[in-house]
Amino acid sequence: MRAVIQRVKHGRVTIEGAVTADIQLGLVILLGIGPEDTAEKLLAAAKKIALMRIFEDDQRKMNRSIIDVGGSAIVVSQFTLYADTRKGNRPSFIGAAPPDLARPLVDQFVQFLQDQGVPTQTGVFGADMLVDISNDGPVTIILQDD
């Protein structure tokens, strides 16, 4: 599992001109699933992200979680996080889980995040999406379990 977590002031996913996800303060999570990933790994990641202290407190220190600030999340499945660029100029994505394995795990991750108390919206698995991210800080965290 690989996740790029971005603290945002605003995030939006648009597909063919239609907005499918739209949040204000919160996180946009780009999520890549690997072939060895399990529901247990994704549950641990959801718990970590929900409690990750990357929002500022009154002293401007990153001391608050998304739950503490009442934020929301958008999860976007992104197999390209498994790009292998070691050979040639065209990335290989053979390290990413196939769609029939990845789709249910992405759905489980979203549910796990919601179960932690984080209102969560999504893109559409496999769709060509336009993802608008107003990165706040900028704060970008890479969470990797592989």
- Residues designated catalytic: 78-80
Are the C-beta atoms of residues 98 and 87 closer than 8 Å to each other?
no
C-alpha–C-alpha distance, residues 74 and 14, integer Å? 12
Side-chain-side CA neighbours of residue 90 (13 Å): 1
Rounded-to-integer distance, Cα 35 and Cα 70, Å: 33
In eight-state DSSP terms, residue 51 is H
CB 133 within 8 A of CB 8: yes
